[in-house]
Chain A
Amino acid sequence: MRIIIVGNGMVGYKFCEKIVAKFGPGKFDIVVYGEEPRPAYDRVHLSEYFSGSTADDLLMAPASWYQENQIKLVTGEMVTEIDAEKKTIQTHKGTTDSYDKLILATGSSPFVPPVPGVDKDGVFVYRTIEDLNDIINYGEKIKKAAVMGGGLLGLEAAKALLDMGLETHVIEFAPRLMPRQLDEAGSSILKSKLESLGIKIHTQKNTSEIAGNGKVTALSYADGSELDIEMLVISAGIRPRDEVAQKSGIEIGPRGGIVVDNYMKTSLNDIFAIGECALHDNMIYGLVAPGYEMAEVVIDQIAGEGTREFTGFDMSTKLKLIGVDVASFGDPFTDPEISHTIVLEDKIKGIYKRINVTRDGKNLLGGILVGEASEYNMLLQMVQNSMVLPPNPEDLILGARGGGEGGALGGVESLPDEAQICSCENISKGDIVKCITEEEITDIGQIKKSTKACTGCGGCTPLVADLLKLTLEAQGKVVKKTLCEHFDYTRQELFDLIKINNIQSYDKLLDKHGKGDGCEICKPAAASMFASIWNEMILKQDTIQDTNDRFLANIQRGGTYSVIPRIPGGEITPDKLIAIGRIAKKYDLYTKITGGQRIDLLGARVEQLPEIWEELVAEGFESGHAYGKALRTVKSCVGSTWCRYGVQDSVTFSLEIENRYKGLRSPHKLKSAVSGCIRECAEAQSKDFGIIATEKGWNLYVCGNGGARPQHAQLLAADIDKETCVKYIDRFLMYYIKTAEPLQRTATWLNKLEGGLDYLKEVVVHDSLGIGEQLEQDMQLLIDKYECEWKKVVESPELRKKFKHFINSDEQDPALKFESSREQKVPVDWNK
């Protein structure tokens, strides 16, 4: 049987994937025609193209995949005619081909409203990689841009424009954003959240003209007002690509779309339509999951089984990428006749949650989450599986009050086996559990490979991870986080083994407790443990260190390194400032003040590092360990010495702290700060450990984090004196160093620590484990062994030899290339 698929988009590809998964390669003669120049790619994650994903990263499968599975893929060729009598198609290049079954998966194109001026330069749509390339290129030359359309896609596009550094406006015709998913109140919270990100929102604006001479310069609205812009991205809805179908006499809906029945059959024999071009029960589904389900239905038809039907699909969505959590699930609005609605609104925090519950209070019908959507997955499960609600349904969005883990939601364990976990690939809880038990799976990567769960939008990953843990535990397997294929131990176990058996080298560790030859995961993890236990000069074993540690400097784009000398507490004399300036100038380094109150000198060649450091060391500087998983900075504010509000001398204390812990290596980097009063100018509450002065002494906070998931530090002890404060920090840090996973910051460590902050207080403050003194001694050993690594290198000709580009030549790397920006040198962009 010869099957032709018209369109190689997400759904067309999925059809191929599913049919070979079911029948194996070669069972049918399959040919795919795609109009785009490359094989199908992941449109759902298209916006990641802006943040560094390449076109190749986005491919659903490389061209070789089609070959391996004996599918003929023809890209860059559009099907222009179908002859249903003769069962042939023709392409724009004049190729004719014949089929037994024809699948139309032509998707949709962006709807461009007929506003005068849409053909001007600077007006774009947002659907293909080519569109994005055009937007990126045009965007480099301008400052102000707008998106027409405040729906799901429009907001995603707006965030992308904002991230490009453009002044960004969103123009919406309706009185509110995302009118199809959100109610009035939800929209208004979303609006203020987006405004606080810097996006300007204009609702109830009917654009009457796109003005400009050749290229767009402004939008004119029907109400007479205007907005100056230089670029416009239109995201005003989609239009199904039904032109070939229409031309060939296939029935089309009154407002477009290829009409299909529950078996995805069109009005002509042996022709099916799936994905965004198909009109089912007067509905076009603009999401991938229903398209994938449609593909499944057609395969069932082709297999001759023919029982599976498409009967509509849930349109729940969670917005991604826009910097605000937004979700809408089940029926977000509902009729007050059949339901009652529970609403939680916090305008200050910017949170809005609404759930619609049946009149009898038994079932959940749907709802809206704005500002925080962590409950989305579980709530969606409750709707889809008609699960019976707890007695106080409001707990679902308020969180259970009065303690207890997990609130009213329960966890994956409470879901029935039929519960759909991955909606993109339609995989149930039962499927996943079966796969884990039958294939003896122990990590989530294997589940992804076997079932394809988590490979679509990725929204179900947390649920799948929980499910894996639960299933393994139910089998009586200890869920153990072993380091990698070379060590069957957790980090904590290896830490003890190293210490008890007095192991000082990686080779010995591998011989005694590991297998194989190691890898880039266990080597740096072991290196970090050796440093945290023995504090030997790390270049003794330079090849097990991550590059930054191996060269005691951070590698940068283009292959040069950065140099960050320690400037404890951010305090520096004018003479030292001059010295840094002089050295930077001599070696032509780019200089910048870092976010950690010190100075970064960038663009040094590897062979220059020892010379630069020789001069810095001579001026009294030490390594800043910016390259290590080690103590970074202890920021300070001016404190009581100068500040009219200061109650204690924060600068002195921050210097003492930084000098005490400098060089301390740990599972991840450590940051600290000391503020002189409650105004908190040093931002101590965002640090791994932070200290804030009080009238009576100092407050010690722990486990804060900036980064991608910011978390405030929590109060460990209040109004303590300096000595106690240092004692608690010693214990806290050593306890963390001993028990954390590799690359786990203190905040995530605390989140996973059983018993949480209360338990940590018991251990550190009340010494409930009786290890307080031991921890302090372990820390003292490390402090006593501190030496500046760079000083050692500068003084050792043997170590200096390691800093070279070529082993057989003194030449420098000819591949290094620079350009200039604002009077300093910078590396040429590696995307060019």
Chain B
Amino acid sequence: MEEIIALKEHMVEEAGNIKTWFKAAAVEDFPENGGACVKYKDLQIAVFNFTRKKEWYACQNLCPHKMQMILSRGMIGTQGEEPKVACPYHKRTFSLKSGECLNAEEHKIATFPVKIEDGYVYIGFSK
């Protein structure tokens, strides 16, 4: 079986460089104020629906702490204005804007832009 790419390297996909918009699933498939995991090629992407704020975020599904494919099952929320996700395992929290770890010295995670069109959720990739 193909090894899944872990995305250990931090990257922030800026909306400007996007080459591919991947149509992930319908808006109503995602839980409200929560996340779900999207498969794109060999990547696992965590996508979060901030229903209250009417905002969407996406990041790698892999938690860099113990290398677990889990962030989509994490609880979301804010720290001040910063949208964040908390890993279910040991509650490391990550900013969904910068990918920065907010409460420990953990590696940054990769984040991706999300757009909604005609009731569908799209994730942007630069390659």
The distance in angstroms between the C-alpha atoms of A813 and B53, with both chains bound, is 30
- Tell whether, in the assembled complex, residue B91 and residue A520 are in contact, meaning their CB atoms are under 8 Å apart: yes
Q: Does B74 contact A (CB under 8 A)?
A: yes
Q: A56-B105, A523-B75, A558-B68 are in contact. Are A806 and B37 (CB under 8 A)?
A: yes
The 8 A CB mask of A57-85 against B (1 = contact, 0 = none) is 10100100000000000000000000000
Q: What residues of chain A lie closer than 8 Å to B76, measured between beta carbons?
A: 517, 543
Q: What residues of chain A lie closer than 8 Å to B12, measured between beta carbons?
A: none
Nearest chain A CB to B6 CB, angstrom units: 9
Q: Which of B37, B66, B78 touches A518 (beta carbons < 8 Å)? A: B78
Chain B stretch 14-57: residues in CB contact (< 8 A) with chain A: 24-25, 29-39, 44, 47, 50, 52-53
The 8 A CB mask of A533-545 against B (1 = contact, 0 = none) is 0000000001110
The 8 A CB mask of B68-100 against A (1 = contact, 0 = none) is 111001111111100110101101010000000
Q: A59-B105, A555-B89 are in contact. Are A542 and B69 (CB under 8 A)?
A: no
Nearest chain A CB to B69 CB, angstrom units: 4
- Tell whether, in the assembled complex, residue A543 and residue B31 are in contact, meaning their CB atoms are under 8 Å apart: yes
B interface, size bucket: 35 or more
The 8 A CB mask of A445-467 against B (1 = contact, 0 = none) is 00000000000000000000000
B86 closest partner in A (C-beta): A520
Nearest chain A CB to B125 CB, angstrom units: 15
The 8 A CB mask of A503-521 against B (1 = contact, 0 = none) is 0000100100000111110
Q: What residues of chain B lie closer than 8 Å to A761, measured between beta carbons?
A: none
- Tell whether, in the assembled complex, residue B77 and residue A523 are in contact, meaning their CB atoms are under 8 Å apart: yes
The 8 A CB mask of A692-710 against B (1 = contact, 0 = none) is 0000000000000000000
Q: Does A559 contact B (CB under 8 A)?
A: yes
The distance in angstroms between the C-alpha atoms of A557 and B93, with both chains bound, is 18
- Tell whether, in the assembled complex, residue A813 and residue B69 are in contact, meaning their CB atoms are under 8 Å apart: yes
Nearest chain A CB to B10 CB, angstrom units: 13
The distance in angstroms between the C-alpha atoms of A486 and B81, with both chains bound, is 12
Q: What residues of chain B lie closer than 8 Å to A524, measured between beta carbons?
A: 75
Q: A546-B75, A555-B88, A815-B44 are in contact. Are A802 and B31 (CB under 8 A)?
A: yes
Q: Which of A519, A806, A830 touches B67 (beta carbons < 8 Å)? A: A830
Chain A stretch 545-591: residues in CB contact (< 8 A) with chain B: 546-547, 550-551, 555, 557-559
The distance in angstroms between the C-alpha atoms of A811 and B2, with both chains bound, is 14
- Tell whether, in the assembled complex, residue A520 and residue B75 are in contact, meaning their CB atoms are under 8 Å apart: yes
Q: What residues of chain B lie closer than 8 Å to A500, measured between beta carbons?
A: none
Nearest chain A CB to B90 CB, angstrom units: 10
- Tell whether, in the assembled complex, residue B75 and residue A543 are in contact, meaning their CB atoms are under 8 Å apart: yes
The distance in angstroms between the C-alpha atoms of A586 and B49, with both chains bound, is 36
The distance in angstroms between the C-alpha atoms of A524 and B4, with both chains bound, is 32
Other A-B pairs, 7, CB within 8 Å; known A517-B77, A543-B35, A806-B39: A517-B50, A520-B74, A544-B75, A547-B88, A558-B68, A814-B2, A830-B68
Q: Please, could you name 10 A-B residue pairs with CB atoms under 8 Å apart, sorted by A?
A: A57-B105, A507-B33, A543-B32, A543-B33, A547-B75, A555-B73, A555-B89, A557-B66, A806-B39, A808-B39
